[in-house]
Amino acid sequence: MTDLIKIFVAAFLINNIILMRFIALCSYIGMTSDVGQSVGMGLAVTFVTVMASAVTWPIYYWILKPNGLEFLEILVFIVVIAALVQLVEFYLKKSVPTLYHAMGIYLPLITTNCAILAVTFDQITFNYNFVQSIVFSIAVSLGYLLAMLLLAGVRQRLKNSPIPSFMMDTPILFLTTSIIAVAFMGFAGLIK
Amino acid sequence: MENKTMKLVLSGAPHFVTGYDIQKTMGMVIIALLPALAGGVYFFGLRALLVTAVSIVSAVAAEFLFRKALRRETHVTDLSAVVTGMLLALILPVSSPLWMAAIGSAFAIIVAKELFGGLGGNFANPALVGRAVLLMSWPAFMTRWSPSLHAAVVDATTTATPLGILKLGGTITDVMKSVGASGKPALYLQMFLGNHSGSIGETSALLLLLGAAFLVVTRVIDLRTPVAMIAATFVASWLFGQDPTFSVLAGGILLGAFFMATDYVTTPVTPIGKWAFGIGAGLMTVLIRQLGNFPEGVTYGILLMNVLVPYLDKIIPRKFGFVKPRKVNA
Amino acid sequence: MKRWQMIKLGLILAVYTIVGCVGLAFVYNSTSKTIAQRQEADLQAGLHEVFPTATGFTPTDKVKSPNSTIVFDAAYTADGPSGSLGIAVKAHGPSYGGPTTLIVGVSTDGTITGVKVLENKDTPGLGANAANPKYYVDKATKTTFPGQFAGKKVSDAFIVKQDVTAITSATITSRSITNLVQAVAKAASDALGTAGSAPVPSSPSSSAVLPSADTVRPSSRAATSSVPGVSILETLVGTKAGTIVGASGKATAKSYDGDVTVLVGVSTDGTITGVQILECTDSLGSPILAPEFAQQFVGKKAGTPLEIGTNIDAVSGATLSSRGATALVKATADALVTALAGGGL
Amino acid sequence: MSLKTFRGGIHPPEHKESTRDLPIERVPTPKSVVIHLTQAIGAQNQPLVKVGDRVVKGQMIGDVQACPAATVHASITGIVRKIEPAPQSNLKDGMAVFIEADGTDETAYMAPLDAFACSREEAIKRLRDAGIVGMGGASFPTDVKLAPPADKPIDTIIANGAECEPYLTIDYRTMMESPADVVEGLAIAAHIVGATRAIVAIESNKADALPVIEQQFAGHSHGIRMGTIIAATKYPEGGEKMLMKAITGREVPSKGLPFDIGVICQNVGTLKAIKEAFIDGKPLIERGFTVSGGACKTPKNLYAPIGTVIADLIPDVIQMSDDVRKVIFGGPMMGVTVPSLQTPIAKGTSGVLFFTAAESKQYEERLCIRCGRCANACPAQLMPMLMNAALDANDVNRADAIGLVDCFECGACSYVCPARIPLTQRFKLGKDLLRNQRAKEARHGK
Amino acid sequence: MKIILETAIIAAVLGLLIGVALGFFREKFAVPSDPLVDKIRAILPGANCGACGFAGCDAYAIAVAHQTTTPDRCTTGGKKAGDQIAALLGLTSSAVDQIAVLVCQGSKDKAPLKADYEGIQSCRAAKITTGGTKLCQWSCIGLGDCTRICPFDALHMGDDGLPHVDTVKCTGCGKCVDACPQNVLTRVSRAKKGAMPLCSNRNPVKSKVIATCKIGCIKCEICVKSCPEGAIHMERGLPVVDEHLCTSCGICVAKCPTKVFKLIEKDIVTS
Amino acid sequence: MKRLFGVFVNGLIIENPLFIIMIGLCSSMAVTTTVANGIGMGVALTFVLVMSELIISLFRNLIPESIRMPIFLIVIAAFTTIMDLEMQAYFPVLSKSMGVFIPLVVVNCIVMGRVEAFSSKQPVADSVVDGLGMGIGYTWVLIALAVVRELLGNGTLLGFQIMPASFSPMIFFILPPGGFLVFSLWMAASNNLRRKLLAGKKPEPTQDSCCTLPENGSAEKA
């Protein structure tokens, strides 16, 4: 149990996927202009990440590794994830339209979201077992959601700041992220 | 008509303003920080004053030059840069190289404040950002503590702050030894007076409380946040099995609670938000002290809460005459 | 028609996949050898660095990892011109920013011959200096951080800031690497059979904690502790000239992140006559094995509060383990006193 | 013992000492007056006279077209010279009747009416015919205010003598000089709405008016239970909702009206006008106001016919210093500036203030530093800085959610703001934008 | 060789499976879509990067098609994609060929201020707190609310204190018309021809108009009388031109004593 | 020729993937702690980009619309894996220090975006040049970031000590927050420069990028 908590805290805060590892920045910048949007995106990412993690783990350990085909990892993972996302999107659009409008519309963005692929690679690199992988994927994607929410909040305040013109738009967002990351450095070493 | 001779002015109501402005607010804060600075000079020598002066000059110069370069109106007379420079100096070790203090406050002013549009536009406390960046950049300088000039005992351990001693695996007993106290009451007294190693302005609880009392009496600060932060620190450290009184007196809790968690721009304006901010900052501080890498967590505790302020500001208090909307029966 | 369309799509995709994958397989075939060679070369270089005089290395499976957080990747016996020189182990264990991989060499006499840090993901410029060949903890002798372990005895204390110099501003990294080195070295020397005399008393004598007794026999009924988590492994009764003078018990409990095992002796009047800390598997807990720590308990009354910071001093660097051990000692002593009073021994 | 009050509020300098002890003077009848046809909140009135008509003091010259509105009357006797738009103290040029005095002092008042004997409808009609409006500044037609819906019983009526605006002392003087009129008017108003309790509320700095008022209770209360209460001296104590909260402890619900909590509040000047309308049959053709301010050499309290142009009073009645920069109709906190002295006194004009350049200095606006002083000062318990931030970000809906429409523009937040942000003005702007947006949505909704 | 065989088998299975599944799902769960959305979607690059602030290219295409956003927000596709989408929408949108026109000529020198205004520098704020800044209460206040709201940078305050419409940049979106508290901005079709009176002063008293503005309509009705086509009549104090009758003869422009009239094709819609 | 040059410059500056289009940001900050890493990553991405664009462009008429996405991904993933394996074999140190960011090239928006937006509609030569332009455009930005970070954060460039010995490196710059800061400031500088250029001579640069437009339109119709 403690190892799961450690994995969770480490992936959620200490090695926050956006603030400390620079992964999934495109959607982080693009999707934080509105809090509701960030929540939708964050939840969609959580859903797909967990799903991807649950699917790729058996593929790696039951198909690729026994046959010595680890080098196919990248290709197989990305294709499987892309297909899965598309299937889920088709399914939601037709069968659960309400959910689709809350979350599903973010799905196409997710295929090329680095966070998901990074999680599937990391769980292999870190030698996590299946349960650990799932916990890890939840933690990473919630960390993503957290970072999105923090930026979305600060962005609302920035609307009132007379930011110098050359810092407008993206530069100020990265500067904000930098300062949020400074604050997150405080979590360093929380888990040893 | 008579307009030509008289030149009347049209403006919106009210046609009256108080004489109290930003400059006066900042002036009050500076006055309130003076006892702590004086304490720093007393405990650590004149170099404390030098570090503070360099930090202030650098902060003011950075603000002035930056705004000039941007062709914006310079507002150095509002004294906010002085406050930032002063606060930053007060949370540096006295042995900090002068160039480091200068870089720190210039960085704080430009990156954390002016690039966001100046006073009022920033979302994180510039002084704390400055300190966090310095701590990241030159950890060796930032953790080189000098013993108090008036310490009863001077041995190797006094170069660590009381919290530092705990972080390195020491016990309260070791802390007592380091300040030359024979028992807990004596330890508390030493901590309260500030006769131990630490940042320039953070050691003396007495002088900080003096300044804080001034700000409270003059209604510059609201007591909610500091009280919440100190109480949260007290309770959380007690839950972690630490000596709660010691935890509150040690490190930057008081300085942070009264002077940084009350920074207008970067803390919530709503009453509940203020409570939440204080509690959150206190909890984060203790968490970092207990589990994190750093002996002291006030900087990060407050910075983390700074980031949450937009959400805390959403908890709006009850308006005058507010009635709960009645549920319409379906 | 529609069904055919679907299958056609599948086939097209399959063709692309096959072409892509098979292409990859060819590339893999050609590069995998190079990768393997390179890794082997790196390993050999590392091994030679820790055993410069060795003529060759033979894999061995004698070395076992002491706990689950440290993974032993491979172990080799270093072959010298005249028989085995020692054992080199490649292992990785947790550090501050991620796993640290290193090679530790231990000679047959229980001396560390060398340590090489292969990979460290800690803070660049600070913790990562552990792997930097140009970062010296001692500038005068140009000793790198891992370099300082060479020549150290396995039985040494391995306490950062005492017998190990820390990397500036990276105490955590220094500590975790030191612990890793110690654990690996100990496992290696155990495998070599030299079992360097670690400060653990190898065969705890129950009589040592009951100095007044002349004979010590197992109790007919075991003492039990009411404190959750404390399990008393064995209960002994000490007699002098046939009368019971006290009891001793061996107990174990969870401590900070490992287990701690103690041996406690209590006289019939409830005074603690002796304490030995037998084992502590906490990651930073080994310092409490020092007899000075255990000695503090002697003479204290069971039933009175025993507390770190008040009447028991913690061992510097191992506050949490000290606290765990103290609680265990107290629980055991209390249990023994209860058992003695109940007369059930 | 703490005085009755409400949460929030400010303590601006009072500046009342220069006029508080000066009796109200009646100005000589002006040669001409400019009477705007619409002087109350509500619908536009239509003129009852033509150019060239002779009108008599007290004659109704503008009648109500739609409710709510208040009738207007000629305040002097003379000839109607023209009817055309003229500058008005409520910003917009409105249609006005220009009357030139013919020197006679003929009057055409109504017959007295016994408020306690007549029916309620008659009483309300009398109020309407007399053109009485709230004289505290808001100019809300009194006949509407005293006729609340039948399902909202009124138990308390408050005579508002708080007069919290700096400089103004006209209400105080009215209480000191015509206490009987005020009490009589209060009794009439209480009788009309059926209130069983009537309270005269005064700020603590005017406590010496209390005994004067209380002496009159015996003779003029008409059996209504009357009392007095001293409230703390604080701005905006005289705000209707604030005073009710302070006196009765009841809060007018957000977006609600005072009669929702069974209370009605009337300015003491209005009460005097009510008394005159019933006992003397005199419509509201004259009002008292304070003349003061740093650029006014002759601070005083005056009675002047409605429609008297300020410029006509200079220099015989009022003298100004040369550096006058700002002329305010009303108090300094909520009054409006006027562009020229050609502005006539209206029914809602409680004061005319002349400010020097130094007094009307505009400070540079800075960024909000979120000090929270505005929130502490806001009597409506709003978060002005958050509303300002929302408006700054062009998010009118967010500002509305925080409470934009609950702001009643008392100006306390602007007064305390150390960053000199014109918060009150911004909220007025925000409300206007909000109205615009709502109207647009309604259009698109259809 | 074994590894290559294995790879091929796995690849074949994977490819076939996914291909069939995709085809199947697409068929089974097909949702009819808007052809306009599809067209816009086809122009967009499909990187689904989210930089536009929408959840992917599809979401953005829908928003553009429903005209809830502007077509220039795709950073990946750049100006190119924006132009194409705009062109696509231009065929169906009628708002594009309009242009904003200021119906007031009360520049600084012609329409005097009634007093100095201090406070929030916004027309709407000035209007609600002080009833505007100029003696003419119908005039352009001149504090530039329209210039600030213009998303196309097509309005600029001139030295004369009036906003000037950049006829090239103006798209006729109408934001400025909504923003103007005085309602002195209106939209006319770029193709429109004829005379247009540029005054909003409805004060019926000639002397008052003269006192407040040198270029205001003084209600002399010379235009009504002089128009050979009878195309001009007065409506609530202002002349109105019937565009169907107006022949752009220019007589009213020449005759108007205060120069209120302008010809749209000559003086207003210029490029 | 001139046209191809236009396509090249387009990626290099006018539509620079990082500063202007702002895609593929992740790796740009993660790997720029040292210049060597930056160059390595840039070369790796350029390789994948050019090869993928080449292949997709070659086969662009043989790709069914409905499974376009999986096929693109397969092609990109294949080249990413090849690049990954080669790096492991010949540049093991570099490969290790870049870690997960090498496989993540597969989801780098630059590759996906260019393949979708450009090479799936354009002839082979243009695609290759576009890949080169974009790749080099990406690389120079990485180097620019890395120079600042390595110099200030470590006092070295490409591993060589540059700053005087008395200089204490400001470690902040090689930590994550420093990465964000340096990127932010570089971007601000580029924005500022671009705005000045645009202000100086009307909207000429964008006009330039439009010179590739006509054919693009015709290609789409086809």
Of D259, D9, D20, nearest to D145 (Cα)? D259
Point out the least confidently predicted range of A87-101, B116-130, B137-151: A87-101
- The backbone torsions φ and ψ at residue C234, rounded to the nearest 5 degrees and listed phi first, read -150, 150
What angle, 0 to 180 degrees and rounded to 10, lies between the N-to-C axes of helices F35-58 and F124-154? 170
d(CA D315, CA F197): 63
E-chain CB neighbours of C29 within 8 Å are 3-4
Q: How is chain F split among helix, strand and coil, in percent rounded to 5?
A: 80, 0, 15
Q: Give residue F218's pLDDT.
A: 30
Range of the domain at F85: 2-221
Q: How confident is the model at residue F203 (pLDDT cuts 50, 70, 90)?
A: very low
- Sequence-distant (6+) residues with CB within 8 A of C322 are C288, C293, C308, C312, C314, C315
pLDDT in tens, F53-99: 999 999 888 888 777 778 888 899 999 999 998 888 888 888 877 87
D67 annotated among ligand-binding-site residues: no
pLDDT of residue C227: 74
Identify the CATH class of E95-191.
alpha beta
DSSP H helices, F160-200, are: 176-200
Does the pLDDT of residue D175 top 90, yes or no? yes
In sequence order, the 6+-apart residues with CB closer than 8 A to the CB of E251 are E226, E227, E228
Of A71, A79, A192, the CB nearest to C24: A71
Q: What is the pLDDT of residue F19?
A: 82
Pick the CATH number of E192-271 from 3.40.50.300, 3.50.40.10, 3.30.70.20, 3.40.50.2300: 3.30.70.20
Which of these ranges, D14-18, D144-148, D202-206, F66-70, has the smallest mean pLDDT? F66-70
Cα separation, D396 vs B315, whole angstroms: 18
Q: How far is B111 from chain F (nearest CA, A)?
A: 9
Tokens 């009124």, residue? Answer: D154
User: What residues of E are in contact with residue A109 (Cβ under 8 Å)?
Assistant: 48-50, 55-56
Highest mean pLDDT among C132-146, C176-190, D182-196, E173-187: D182-196
The tens digit of pLDDT for each residue in B257-294 reads: 999 999 999 999 999 999 999 999 999 999 999 888 78
Q: Give me the mean pLDDT over the D152-177 stretch.
A: 92
Looking at residue B209, its pLDDT comes to 95
pLDDT at B54: 96
Residue matched to tokens 């529609």 = C2
> In Å, how far is A141's CA from the nearest CA of chain B?
19
Find the closest chain B residue to D374 by CA distance.
Answer: B269
Mean pLDDT along residues D16-45:
88
Quickly state the pLDDT bin for C174 (edges 50, 70, 90): confident
Give the least confident one: B69-78, B192-201, F195-204. F195-204
Q: Is residue E246 annotated as involved in ligand binding?
A: no
Per-residue burial over A110-143, b = 16 or more CB atoms within 10 Å of its CB, e = otherwise: bbbbbbbbbbbbbbbeeebeeebbbbbbbbbbbb
**Distinct helix (H) and strand (E) counts, chain E:** 10, 9
> Looking at residue D42, what is its pLDDT?
72
Please name each of the domains of chain D with its CATH number: 120-280 (3.40.50.11540), 373-445 (no CATH)
Q: Of F214, F39, F9, F47, nearest to F130 (Cα)?
A: F9
> Is pLDDT larger for residue C66 or for residue D392?
D392
Cβ atoms within 10 Å, residue E147:
17
E24 vs C18: CB contact, 8 Å cut-off?
no
Cα separation, C17 vs B33, whole angstroms: 69
Find, among D26, D27, D28, D32, the residue nearest to D77 by Cα.
Answer: D32
- The letter for the amino acid at D196 is T
In which band, very low, low, confident or very high, does the pLDDT at F163 lie, cut at 50, 70 and 90? confident
Distance from CA of A166 to the nearest CA of C (A): 31
Tens of pLDDT along chain E (271 residues) come to 677 888 888 888 888 888 788 777 777 776 666 777 777 877 777 666 666 667 677 778 888 877 777 777 776 666 677 777 777 776 444 344 678 899 999 888 888 888 888 888 899 988 888 888 888 888 999 999 999 888 778 899 988 889 999 888 887 777 888 889 999 999 888 778 888 999 988 888 888 888 888 888 998 889 999 999 888 999 888 899 988 888 888 899 998 998 899 888 887 776 5
Q: Phi, psi (5° rounding) for residue A74?
A: -60, -50
Q: Which of E2, E7, E9, E25 to mutate to test the interface with C (most CBs of C within 10 A)?
A: E7
Average pLDDT over residues A116-122: 90
Q: What is the DSSP string of E219-250?
A: ---HHHHH-TT--EEEETTEEEE-TTT-----
- Supply the Cα-derived Rg of chain A in whole angstroms: 18
pLDDT tens digit sequence for B176-203: 877 777 888 888 998 899 888 889 999 8
The reported pLDDT for the residue numbered B152 is: 62
CA neighbours closer than 13 Å in the CB half-sphere of residue D353: 35
Q: What is the pLDDT of residues A55-101, one digit of tens each?
A: 999 999 998 888 888 888 888 898 888 888 888 888 877 777 777 77
Number of domains in chain F: 1
Residue whose C-alpha is closest to residue F134's, from F5, F17, F1, F6? F17
Q: In the complex, which subunits touch A with 3 or more CB pairs below 8 angstroms?
A: B, C, D, E, F
* Max intra-chain CA distance, chain A: 60
Quote the CA–CA distance of E231 and E242 in Å, as a whole number.
Answer: 5
Question: Which residues of chain B lie closer than 8 angstroms to A187, CB-CB?
Answer: 288, 292, 300
Nearest partner of B285 among B94, B128, B109, judged by Cα? B128
CB contact under 8 A, A161 and D389: no
Query: Considering chain B, what percentage of its residues have pLDDT values greater than 90?
Result: 58
User: What whole-number distance in Å separates Cα of residue F148 and Cα of residue E22?
Assistant: 47
Q: For the residues C47-52, what does the mean pLDDT come to?
A: 81
| pLDDT of C127 | 66
Number of cross-chain residue pairs from B and D with Cβ atoms under 8 Å apart = 160
Phi, psi of D317 (to 5 degrees): -100, -45
| CA–CA distance, C287 with C158 (Å, rounded to integer) | 9
Mean pLDDT for chain B?
Answer: 88
Asked whether the ipTM of the predicted complex exceeds the cut of 0.85, the reply is no
Mean pLDDT for chain C overall: 76
Q: Which residue has the tokens 């009054």?
A: D335
Cβ separation F70–E22 shorter than 8 A: yes
More confidently predicted of F108 and D116: D116
Distances in Å between the Cα of D273 and the Cα atoms of D133, D183, D266, D283, F48 are 9, 11, 11, 8, 89
DSSP secondary structure, F143-155, as one string: HHHHHHHHHHHHS
Residue bearing tokens 């005992």: B153
Q: Are B169 and B213 in contact (CB under 8 A)?
A: no
Give the helix/strand (H/E) hosting A54.
Answer: helix A35-58
Please give the Cα distance from C205 to C255 (Å, whole number): 23
d(CA C48, CA C78): 9
Does E170 show up as a binding residue in the annotation? Answer: yes
Answer whether D234's CB lies under 8 Å from D9's CB. Answer: yes
> What gap in Å lies between CA D86 and CA D309, rounded to an integer?
11
- Residue C321's alpha-carbon distances to B215, C261, C304, in angstroms, are 44, 11, 20
Confidence band of C83 (pLDDT split at 50, 70, 90): confident
Interface of D with A in 379-418 (CB under 8 A): 389, 392-393, 395
Chain B: nearest CA to C173, how far in angstroms? 10
The pLDDT confidence band at residue F215, using thresholds 50, 70 and 90, is very low
Q: State the distance between the two ends of chain C, measured CA to CA, in whole angstroms.
A: 89
How far apart, in whole angstroms, are the C-alpha atoms of residue D363 and residue D377?
Answer: 20
The rounded distance, in Å, linking the Cα atoms of D420 and B21 is 8
State both tokens at E94: 């009628």
Average pLDDT over residues C308-328: 76
User: What is the pLDDT at residue C343?
Assistant: 56
Residue D343 has pLDDT above 60, yes or no: yes
Residue A162 and residue D393: Cβ atoms within 8 Å?
A: no
CATH architecture of E34-93: Orthogonal Bundle (1.10)
User: Within chain B, where are the H helices?
Assistant: 2-6, 22-44, 47-69, 80-90, 98-107, 126-137, 139-142, 162-167, 172-179, 184-193, 205-217, 224-239, 244-249, 253-255, 271-291, 298-312
In angstroms, the CA B128 to CA B112 distance is 9
Highest mean pLDDT among B45-59, C224-238, C270-284, F72-86: B45-59
* C-beta atoms of E133 and B10 within 8 A: yes
Contacts of D429 in chain E (CB under 8 A): 120, 122, 124-125, 128
- Lowest mean per-residue pLDDT among A72-86, D28-42, F6-20: F6-20
Q: What is the pLDDT of residue B156?
A: 44
Evaluate whether E51 touches E75 at the Cβ level (below 8 Å).
yes
Beta bridge partners of E270: none
Owner of token pair 């005289």: D238
Q: Per-residue pLDDT tens for D197-220?
A: 999 999 999 989 989 999 998 888
Residue F206 has pLDDT above 60, yes or no: no
CB contact under 8 A, B11 and E114: no
Query: Which pLDDT score is estimated for B228?
Result: 96
Q: How confident is the model at residue C184 (pLDDT cuts 50, 70, 90)?
A: confident
Topology match between the domains E95-191 and E192-271: yes
Flag whether pLDDT at B5 surpasses 70: no
Kind plus residue range of the DSSP H or E element containing C106: strand C99-107
Looking at the DSSP bridge assignments, the partners of residue D55 are: D78
**Pick from E201, E216, E134, E122: nearest CA to D339:** E134
- The DSSP 8-state label assigned to residue E182 in this structure reads T
For residue D378, say whether it is annotated as part of any ligand binding site: yes
